Amino acid sequence: MAWGSKHNISYESLGEFSFIRPKEAPVYRPSKEEFEDPLEFINRIRPEAEEYGICKIIPPPDWHPPFAVDIEQFRFTPRIQKINELEAHTRIKLNFLDQIAKFWELQGSPLKLPSVEKRILDFYTLHQLVQREGGAHSVTRGKKWGKIAMQMGLSKDNRGSATTLRSHYEKILLPYDIFLSLQDAKDGLSVEEEIEPDVEDASETIPKVSSSKCRKKLENDTANGSINDSGSDEEDPSNCRRTRIRKSCSNTPQPQPTTQSYSRRRTERDKLRTPTKQTVVMKVEETMEDPLAKYVCHTCLRGDSEEAMLLCDGCDDSYHTFCLKPPLTSIPKGDWRCPKCIAEVVAKPSDPFGFRTSKSEYSLRRFGEKADQFKSDYFNMPVHKVPSDLVEKEFWRIVSSFDEDVTVEYGADLHTVDHGSGFPTHESINEDCMNRDILDYVNSKWNLNNMPILGGSVLSHITANISGMKVPWMYVGMCFATFCWHNEDHWSYSINYLHWGESKTWYGVPGSRANDFETTMKQAAPELFSSQPDLLHQLTTIMNPNVLMEAGVPVCRTDQEAGEFVITFPRAYHAGFNQGYNFAEAVNFAPADWLKMGRECIAHYATLHRYCVFSHDELTCKMAAESEELGPRVAIATYRDMLSMVKAERDLRKSLLYLVPIHYG
């Protein structure tokens, strides 16, 4: 198992990173009497705790349920988490780098990220800053490269950094900008327009072609996951004659539809320009069986200068190196794709981000040994001596670093139906061996197997065993293993109990500010939400609490220790990470006050076209039909929800009368 390609903390980098801890969430210590009824106690603290979104409950000192899982027999397959890919800003940077890497890869030139002032160059930020100033030509004309360097946090006194930034931009990013501009022109114009490069010497607009034929998207050569400075060799054009340019006509390739459609477009354009080109294009279309016609340049429509002719490895179309924009000074050794093929690949949306599943299955003991070894190696000290604030600051530093690769694994969403619960149950404990103390924990209302089906929880009226909501899930964590920003299904409550191990760090946003949270996330990462509007439902994205706090979103935090509960309130967004090896269990519950919020949730789901986990209307009708069995608080809430349901249904039916014309016979 490869956990983390970086195994040692960099205190120098950590010292340069700033993280402001959010305020602490409220902590409650119920007395033995208050602890008797969890729903009553939670209802009592709700007015205060709900304003934070999350809270921590510490049981009475003598409440210690035995751990009922067999450590040796328990087996699970964890998820793989690449930590810096979880953060929204960092993922945007990595997606941009992926596009740039594809762009150069398809042209046979491997991309290596250069360093400036001993830091890997952040091409995304550089590109954003330059575009904000009007583009590379505008920055050069206005002598603003020094300003760009300062905005990127480079040394004010180092003039060479500004020159280096310009050089890297013109060699790596400017050709990409020109390519995108040409694609926009082709999509938006009926008459071909020429877009000239913004640099005087076209030879400086592309990276030197690497001698390596084996392409890697981003070449990471250092052990700690950073990417080496670019190094490349000039190639002799005389040695770069494309072997795929065939002199023989014996094997005639079949004409490609893309070539014909392209030629037709050129014909229409050239009616407005050069009749000689039109004639050539018509001849190309009429004589596609001629194998030589395949090697006519698709830009100038000429077949001369064969030594400078490139044949696309994707579609077999031909181009002169000097007809490309920007032109190539030499013919790449590796596979080369034409602008049309590049456009098809670059235009493809990225696959939705998700967690990969580990290929290894672990017992608790084996996972714990590796988890402890990882943390000990990373911080260079025994695991239990690492301060929690140090782990927290390092976690947020890692997730903001696009060039540091730290990978961990997380045993998340493990079903108690399959693995058994950490709490003792009638099924897991032999009745003959069950003493009075264990029986008390089996029947305890704080046992998460009992919590959802307590008399005051409306989920008890759902007959189906909904995994994760009515049936607990378990979580085996390690240092940095993360649970991303989300709120619970149907905006229900959740309760999490940490059975044993190192602490779990939580962050919470009150449900009353959920809209502000969602707006801030979308404004901070519009590139992600434009392609995945339901991103927050995927539980795959985190964002630094400081970013939310700067936008005015209230955030709190807490460290959950072994033997403690954390409650999340309706619609409260929450996220966090594990400080080390631990074992937790969680489930949802829904007291009477949740019904109103649940009704609002399904209306919200309807606007997002999101499926419900269960039918809220069915639940309400079922409780109304069993009204004699309901307690006073649940009965009143059910009555009010029934009125809301009937009103909503009437309003919907009335709206149909205005949409559908009524015809009378």
Helix axes 123-132, 159-168, angle to 10 degrees: 90
- The tokens for 192 are 């071909």
Cα–Cα distances (Å) from 616 to 43, 353, 546, 595, in that order, read 22, 30, 36, 9
pLDDT for res 272: 37
pTM of the model: 0.75
- CA 286 – CA 266 distance, rounded (Å): 15
Q: What is the CATH topology of the domain spanning 34-86+354-614?
A: Jelly Rolls (2.60.120)
Any bridge partners for residue 411, and if so which?
A: 476
Instruction: Answer whether 412's CB lies under 8 Å from 78's CB.
Output: yes
Q: Cis check for the bond before 326: say yes or no (omega within 30 of 0).
A: yes
CA angle centred on 432, ends 428 and 436, rounded to 5°: 85
Instruction: Answer whether 22's CB lies under 8 Å from 555's CB.
Output: yes
Instruction: Answer whether 230's CB lies under 8 Å from 207's CB.
Output: yes
Instruction: Answer whether 427's CB lies under 8 Å from 436's CB.
Output: no
Instruction: Answer whether 89's CB lies under 8 Å from 525's CB.
Output: yes
Return the H-helix or E-strand segment holding 349: none
Cα–Cα distances (Å) from 547 to 88, 93, 550, in that order, read 11, 17, 5
- The tokens for 619 are 């639940």
Of the candidates 567, 611, 620, 602, the residue with the CA atom closest to the CA atom of residue 458:
620
pLDDT for res 187: 59
Mean pLDDT per 10-residue segment, the chain (665 residues):
56 75 98 96 97 98 93 91 90 89 82 86 92 92 91 77 90 87 62 41 38 35 38 38 33 35 32 43 50 76 81 83 82 79 74 75 94 96 94 94 90 90 85 76 95 91 83 96 96 97 98 96 90 84 95 98 98 98 97 95 92 93 90 93 93 84 60
For residue 133, the 8-state DSSP code is: T
- CA 68 – CA 47 distance, rounded (Å): 35
| Alpha-carbon dihedral angle through residues 614, 620, 624, 626, given to the nearest 10 degrees | 30
Q: What's the CATH architecture for 110-153?
A: Orthogonal Bundle (1.10)
For residue 627, what are the contacts with CB-CB under 8 A and spacing of at least 6?
A: 635, 638
Q: What's the CATH architecture for 306-347?
A: 2-Layer Sandwich (3.30)
Burial 123-153 (b: 16+ CB within 10 A, else e): bbbbbebbeeeeebbebbeeebbbebbeebe
- Scanning the structure block, which residue is given the tokens 């392609």? 531
pLDDT for res 665: 53
- Scanning the structure block, which residue is given the tokens 């050709």? 175
Neighbour count for residue 432 (Cβ, 10 Å): 5
CA angle centred on 558, ends 554 and 563, rounded to 5°: 150
Q: Count each helix (H run) and each strand (E run) in the chain, helices first.
A: 21, 20
Signed CA dihedral, 591, 593, 597, 602: sign only: positive
- CA 535 – CA 352 distance, rounded (Å): 9
Instruction: Answer whether 561's CB lies under 8 Å from 498's CB.
Output: yes
Report which residue type is found at 522: K
- CA 167 – CA 175 distance, rounded (Å): 12
Three-class DSSP category at 523: helix
- Scanning the structure block, which residue is given the tokens 């400078």? 308
- CA 548 – CA 403 distance, rounded (Å): 23
Locate the domains of the chain by residue range: 34-86+354-614, 110-153, 306-347, 615-664
Neighbour count for residue 388 (Cβ, 10 Å): 14
Of the candidates 173, 174, 125, the residue with the CA atom closest to the CA atom of residue 148:
125
pLDDT for res 273: 39
Three-class DSSP category at 230: coil
- Scanning the structure block, which residue is given the tokens 């990173």? 17
Report which residue type is found at 428: S
Of the candidates 147, 123, 121, the residue with the CA atom closest to the CA atom of residue 133:
147
